[in-house]
Amino acid sequence: MGAWLDAFNSGDVARMYDFADRYKDPMRRWVTNFRERTGGFDVVSMEESGPRSIAFVVKERASTAQQIGFLRVADGEPAVIESFTFVAVPQGMTAADIHTEIDAGAPKRIVDAISKTLNAQYVYPTIAKKTAQALREHLEHGDDYALR
């Protein structure tokens, strides 16, 4: 993560792309736009760390916003990034404010919220309805429990 953060915070497009190419960073397509929007990051905390994965909290340099990051790499030399994701912490909250326990009703509430957003904002209404229906069917069949 340190090498990525150094390249990202430098603001040097060639350096960011060099890192992305070397480690097969899936964020390569949008890393420069992401950098412009955030102004870079300062590490707030390291949340979890394993042999091939890490979860961390960063603060955007261009605002007071925080994001939670998840980085996972595959074995190999050099390591290849399998996934690299950032999730924005809602305005007015910090990462510590987010409660991550999932109660029995949470999956339905999440699917309902996603469906509502899809139906209200997705460009193709027919695809939005089909996607929302597919999510509901997976929920009804208990498919989400296979991920726990």
pLDDT in tens, 35-92: 999 999 999 999 888 888 898 999 999 999 999 999 989 888 878 999 888 989 888 8
Distances (CA, A) of 63 to 6, 30, 91: 19, 19, 11
* pTM exceeds cut of 0.75: no
pLDDT at 147: 44
Q: Which of 98, 73, 86, 75 is closest to 31 using CA atoms? A: 86
Question: Is residue 145's pLDDT more than 60?
Answer: no
Q: Which of 11, 8, 9 is closest to 19 using CA atoms? A: 8
Gap between the Cα atoms of 48 and 12, Å rounded: 29
pLDDT at 5: 95
Q: How confident is the model at residue 8 (pLDDT cuts 50, 70, 90)?
A: very high
Mean pLDDT of 13-35: 93
Q: How confident is the model at residue 100 (pLDDT cuts 50, 70, 90)?
A: low
Q: What CATH number was assigned to the domain covering residues 2-97?
A: 3.10.450
